[in-house]
């Protein structure tokens, strides 16, 4: 569908299979290099600042080793009334998160960064999507948790998987909820002249 400009190459700074799958929809070739960074939220950061900073740090960490490549970093968080719901520590934590989300709207925020350090170019932004989770019974939540899908997922659910049944409404980017706002990423790469 798209082509990477001759002489350029793209690296996805992520270990997320969901992000890899979404980026592949552009029909481009890219490398995958997971960054090793501290993803702890700072006390003074808003959720938006947190997602934006972590996405930049992921891209910068990989970009510092490959300064001539275009590096994409992203970080997705789930936010309910200003509180960041990260990845659950265990099944009990997942249960608590899903009970908190049921019957309510929450936000999924992804910070993303596209950079090329040798060209001194950095493009970054955030995308917010509102999601409504249906009112589920405790038993439904327990059955979902037993699939192991919630573990390792921000907010304890995967809209693109078995957890899709609980998402009643989405306002905004679906791919943002999955983990990579592909429209905005494509627009950034096109505006920077990386893709044609």
Position 1 confidence tier, pLDDT thresholds 50, 70, 90: confident
Angle at 30 between CA 54 and CA 164, to 5 degrees: 65
Q: Which helix (H) or strand (E) holds 13?
A: strand 10-13
pLDDT tens digits, one per residue of 127-186: 999 999 999 999 999 999 999 999 999 999 999 999 999 999 999 999 999 999 999 999
The pTM for the full model equals 0.95
From the candidates 75, 93, 125, 135, which is the catalytic residue?
Answer: 75
Quick one: pLDDT at residue 97? 98
- Give DSSP secondary structure letters for 15-78: --HHHHHHHHTT----EE-------PPPTT--HHHHHHHHHHHHHHHHHTT-TTSEEEEEEEEE
Nearest to 111 by CA among 59, 187, 174, 69: 59
pLDDT tens digits, one per residue of 14-39: 999 999 999 999 999 999 999 999 99
Query: Per-residue pLDDT for 107 more than 90?
Result: yes
Quick one: pLDDT at residue 177? 98
pLDDT tens digits, one per residue of 39-72: 999 999 999 999 999 999 999 999 999 999 999 9
Distance, in Å, from the CA atom of 8 to the CA atom of 177, rounded to the nearest integer, reads 29
Quick one: pLDDT at residue 174? 98
* 75 labelled catalytic: yes
Distance, in Å, from the CA atom of 101 to the CA atom of 105, rounded to the nearest integer, reads 7
Structural domain boundaries in the chain: 10-191
1.10.357.10, 3.90.950.10, 3.10.110.10, 3.40.50.720: CATH of 10-191: 3.90.950.10
List of residues 6+ apart from 107 with CB closer than 8 A? 47, 78, 79, 80, 128, 129, 130, 131
> What's the average model confidence in pLDDT over 103-132?
98
Could you identify the residue written with the tokens 């990845």? 87
pLDDT tens digits, one per residue of 64-102: 999 999 999 999 999 999 999 989 999 999 999 999 999
Quick one: pLDDT at residue 175? 98
Distance, in Å, from the CA atom of 135 to the CA atom of 168, rounded to the nearest integer, reads 9
């Amino acid at each position: 569908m798209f082509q990477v400009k001759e002489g350029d190459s793209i690296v996805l700074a992520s270990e997320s299979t969901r992000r890899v799958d979404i980026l592949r929809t552009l029909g481009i070739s890219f490398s995958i290099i997971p960054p090793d960074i501290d993803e702890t939220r700072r006390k003074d950061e808003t959720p938006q600042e947190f997602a934006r900073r972590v996405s930049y740090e992921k891209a910068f960490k990989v970009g510092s080793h490959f300064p001539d490549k275009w590096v994409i970093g992203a970080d997705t968080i789930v936010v309910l009334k200003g509180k960041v719901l990260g990845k659950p520590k265990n099944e009990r934590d997942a249960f608590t998160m899903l009970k908190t989300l049921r019957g309510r709207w929450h936000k999924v925020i992804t910070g993303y960064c596209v950079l090329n350090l040798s060209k001194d170019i950095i493009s970054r932004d955030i995308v917010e999507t509102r999601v409504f989770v249906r009112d589920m019974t405790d038993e439904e939540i327990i059955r979902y948790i037993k699939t192991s899908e919630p573990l390792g997922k921000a907010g304890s659910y995967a809209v693109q998987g078995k957890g899709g049944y609980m998402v009643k409404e989405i306002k905004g980017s679906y791919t943002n909820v999955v983990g990579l706002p592909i429209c905005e990423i494509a627009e950034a790469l096109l505006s920077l002249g990386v893709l044609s």
